[in-house]
């Protein structure tokens, strides 16, 4: 039985697809240990240097939402990544003033703000920063940094390569350690190699994609609302208030009368003292 022509096409394709992630991973880890660029870093501005670029801008814009949306669109158009985008309002003074017989006008002062963390291709960082500053009405500060990680990267790569060469050429050490100690030692060496590779891969990631931190704020705005006056709405009618006032007056009179009745012993003493004083004075 002859195999189907579709299988002859699908099976090799699936095999290639299954193998490609592994080969890509090995290529990336091999790149993390590459030292071939070490002869090309004599110049400070050499493209082979591992420079990590960052930018930090805080500025005032006319409309925070529009500026943040425009900046996000720019980042997406150059295959960047929006790590974080947060918009909120910073509230200030709030005041309520009479507006009509049964309503109030509430005035809330607020200032819209936005915080964005962006990852953009390092070659496009300057253009993204310029696009933001062009929208800014006032720039509080702008910070651009370029950290040279070449020596850190080269140190990790050389250590990994040197350790690999030693393991290939040097014989196994003879000592009095137990097999478990030897296994633990080998595991630690492998972990150190992996850690250095991960650090170098992180450096490569930061070299290729710059981090852009943005803080946007806007001039204070006023949110004006007409709301119900709760005192007016919950207040009873005139007749109900009149009856309530009469009842309250009766209660007050009753309470005062009861208070003085509780003082009758003192009143008797005062009366007796007054009569005694009169008799003595006569």
**Which DSSP state fits 162?**
H
Cα distance between residue 201 and residue 96, in whole Å? 58
Q: What is the pLDDT of residue 181?
A: 76
Angle at 232 between CA 229 and CA 234, to 5 degrees: 105
In sequence order, what are the beta bridge partners of 118?
82, 212
Q: Are 71 and 132 in contact (CB under 8 A)?
A: yes
**Which DSSP state fits 115?**
E
Average pLDDT over residues 59-85: 95
Domain boundaries, the chain: 46-225
Q: What is the pLDDT of residue 15?
A: 42
Write out pLDDT tens, residues 239-282: 777 777 888 888 898 888 888 788 878 878 888 888 887 777 76
Q: What is the pLDDT of residue 24?
A: 46
In degrees rounded to 5, what are phi and psi of residue 103?
A: -145, 160
Average pLDDT over residues 33-60: 77
Most confident of 20-29, 119-128, 273-282: 119-128
Enclosing H/E stretch for 216:
strand 209-217
Q: What is the pLDDT of residue 14?
A: 33
Q: Indicate the Cα dihedral angle 131, 134, 135, 137, nearest 10°.
A: 150
Question: For 79, left (φ over 0), alpha (ψ -120 to 50), or beta?
Answer: left
Cα distance between residue 275 and residue 277, in whole Å? 5
Question: Is the pLDDT reported for residue 198 higher than 80?
Answer: yes
Tell me the whole-structure pTM to 2 decimals: 0.64
Most confident of 125-139, 162-176, 227-241, 256-270: 125-139
Write out pLDDT tens, residues 44-57: 777 778 899 999 99
User: Confidence band (pLDDT; 50, 70, 90) for 233?
Assistant: low
Question: Is the pLDDT reported for residue 20 higher than 60?
Answer: no
* Strand-strand pairing, 209-217 and 103-121: antiparallel
Write out pLDDT tens, residues 97-116: 888 878 899 999 999 999 99
């Amino acid at each position: 039985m002859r195999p189907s022509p579709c299988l002859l096409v699908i099976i090799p394709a699936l095999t290639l697809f299954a193998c490609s992630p592994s080969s890509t991973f090995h290529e990336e880890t091999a790149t993390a240990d590459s030292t071939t660029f070490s002869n090309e870093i004599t110049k400070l501005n050499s493209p082979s240097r591992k420079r990590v670029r960052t930018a930090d801008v805080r500025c005032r814009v006319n409309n925070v939402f529009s500026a943040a949306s425009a900046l996000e669109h720019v980042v997406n158009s150059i295959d960047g990544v929006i790590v974080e985008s947060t918009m909120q309002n910073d509230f200030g003074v709030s005041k309520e003033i009479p507006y009509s017989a049964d309503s109030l006008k509430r005035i809330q002062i607020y200032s819209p703000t936005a915080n964005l963390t962006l990852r953009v291709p390092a070659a496009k960082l300057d253009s993204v920063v310029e696009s933001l500053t062009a929208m800014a009405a006032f720039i509080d500060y702008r910070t651009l940094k370029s950290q040279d990680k070449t020596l850190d990267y080269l140190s990790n790569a050389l250590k990994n390569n040197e350790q690999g060469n030693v393991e290939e050429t040097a014989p196994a050490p003879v000592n009095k350690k137990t097999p478990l100690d030897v296994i633990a030692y080998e595991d630690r060496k492998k972990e150190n190699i992996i850690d250095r590779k991960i650090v170098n891969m992180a450096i490569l990631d930061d070299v290729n994609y710059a981090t852009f931190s943005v803080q946007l704020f806007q001039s204070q705005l006023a949110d004006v609302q007409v709301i119900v006056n709760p005192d007016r709405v919950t207040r009873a009618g005139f007749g109900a208030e009149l009856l309530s006032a009469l009842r309250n007056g009766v209660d007050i009179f009753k309470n005062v009368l009861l208070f003085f009745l509780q003082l009758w012993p003192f009143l008797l003493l005062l009366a007796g003292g007054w009569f005694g004083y009169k008799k003595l004075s006569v």
